[in-house]
Structure formats: C-alpha cells, structure tokens
Amino acid sequence: MASVIRVTGAWTQLLTDWLDHERLTAADIRAMLEHWAPEDAVPLAVWRELLARAVALRPQQLAPGLVIGSGVQPRHVGVMGYVVLASRNLGEAMQTYQRYERLFYGTDLVAIEALSDEFEVRWPKNAPIFDQLTDAVGIAALITFLRQQVESPLAVSAVTFVNPAPNAEEHAAYEAFFGCPVRFDDTHTRVRFPASYLALPMAHSDPSLRLLLDRQLQALLLALPDSDAFDRALQQVMLKLLPEGMVTLPRAAGELCVSVRTLQRRLDASGICWQSLLDRTREQLARQYLQDRTLTLGDIALLLGFSEQSAFNRAFKRWTGLTPLAVRGG
C-alpha cells in the first residue's frame, strides 16, 4: 500500500506551547490536541485544521507559521530529535533526519544534495504535504532547531517555498526570520547552507547516547512497514506491549479502541494471522537487538515479551533456523 502522510503526535505539542505563550484558552483546540499522544500518528488533514483554527485566534499576527515553528524543542520531534541532538556535527544530523524522516511523516520525502560550495535540503512540490501554514511551521522549526544545537552561528544561504508569495510585509518578515533571500512559487521547498557548515559541531554531541537512540529508531522503523494508518498503529501497539509480555489479540484490540472481531477482520483482509504478525515483528526486532552487545540474550527475551530466555531461543530457532548466539556471532 502507498504510505499515508501524517505527523508524529509529539509535533502537536508545538501548537499547545504556542497557545500557552499567546495565553489563549482555546478549549476546543486544546481538547483536540490532548486527544493525541506523542507516539500517535496524526493525519495531516487534522494537523492542518488544528493550525488553521489556532492562527485564526491571532489574525493580526504576522507570519504566524514562523512564530509557531520558532518554539520548537527536541521533545516536539520525538526520539529523532534527540538523535539529531546527540550527533557529532551538522552533516551527521542532517543524515539522521533524512534516514528517519519516515518516522515523522510516515514516508520518505526529503532529498539532500551537495552543490559545489553549498548543500541543499529540499522537499518536492508534488508531494501533497504542505500548505503555506504547515510549510512555514516545518521550515521555521527546522532552522530554529539547528540554530539552537550547533556551536557556531548558523547562517542560511537561501530558502524557497512551493506556495504563492504572501503580501510584501509578510514576505519581509520571512526574510528577516531566515536572514536570507526567500522565494516563493518554486518547484521545491528548499533550504541551502554553505557546505562548510556540515562540519559544524553539535553543542550536545554524545556518541554513546546517539548509538543507543539510533538502535531505538531502527527498531521503530522495523515496526513501521509501508502500510495504511491502521496497520502502522497496530505495529506501534505491538512495540509498546511486547516488553510487558501482554501481546494478545484482545489486548491489542483494546489499545486500538476496536473490537477483537474488527481487528481480526483487518488481519484476514491483509492475509495474515495474528500469530504470524507477532512472530514477524518479534523476529525483526530480535535481529536488531542482537546487534547491541550491551543487551544480554535475557534482556532481549524480556524486550520481546518472552518469560524466559529459553523460550526466546526456541522461537528464534523456529523463525530463522539459527540460534540467537549464532546470529550474534559468538
């Protein structure tokens, strides 16, 4: 199935923080925002509606998308934000974003290209993602986040948007915010930096933390197949329940707020039974965890919901024909 574009639930906290900063009660908007947990996948249409309703409360605010985006913090991006934070330099941070963007939008969109003395980060016009407001929030957040984390001042060479140009006053606000020329009606939304900036060290670089978080993101990617929103939600529920040793069809249905019969029908339509899905998810995660030698086989067994290591050993041998120790390499 084609990937469904959405945003991670942690991103909605960015709007909550803006409402707090503006001292807006906005009870109806806050109620909608509180519906989404950080690990949820929020449909893009919902995110657009929330933004539009919020900025309508401040009709005189100039370039509100830039204001909202400028409030970004690592927690708004989920685990990916902390991996970027722990990267060694800006180049590694951008590679991390490109590698894990699918955890944020549910699909891979960004392209990063070296252009002689510059590098460019861009998103295509034909991707049905951004309207003017969501685009402004996203790019303002990206630039703000990077400026917060590098140890040296970060100047942007150029910014372009696929959307039509705003009025002259707002256009000037865009150029003042980014500190560079800003064009509209382009073929891509793009940001350019001097190529030398790729070597800029990150202020909070932590290689050990980065490795730990990177493994967690890899596990999340394994549990995020190219499927529809319901299937992805099911995978996330399984990832959550596995360490609790409570991964049953009724428990998963309860977490998804659907009946066991509805969940069973969805599995039947996909041509997979519950046990096969559980085994496949456990095998994918097991292969990832086995690469981390700080985790014992007992630790991995618990993470996968097995009551004891011997049960994990038998299951892994059934899935792969090999023992976990053989796959780990000693």
Task: Encode pLDDT of 100-122 as tens digits.
Answer: 887 788 778 889 998 889 999 99
Where in the sequence is the domain holding 123, given as residue range(s)? 6-199
- Shared domain for 56 and 159, answered yes or no, is yes
Q: Which residue has the higher pLDDT, 270 or 51?
A: 51
Domain edge (last residue) among 131, 166, 199:
199
Among 199, 234, 251, which residue terminates a domain? 199
- Split at pLDDT 50, 70, 90, the class of 247 is confident
Same domain flag for 104 and 174:
yes
Residue-by-residue DSSP string for 163-197: SPP--HHHHHHHHHHHTS-EE-S-SEEEEEEEGGG
| Number of domains the chain is built from | 2
Residue 124 has pLDDT above 70, yes or no: yes
CATH number for the domain harbouring residue 20: 3.90.1520.10
204 in a structural domain: no
pLDDT at position 237 is: 80
pLDDT at residue 130, rounded to an integer: 66
Task: Residue 269: give its domain's CATH number.
Answer: 1.10.10.60
64, 51 Cβ separation under 8 angstroms: no
pLDDT of 244 strictly over 90: no
- What's the token pair of residue 91? 């180049």
Verify that 101 and 231 share a domain, yes or no: no
- Domain membership flag for residue 69: yes
194 pLDDT tier (thresholds 50, 70, 90): very high
Q: Which amino acid is located at 14 in the chain? A: L
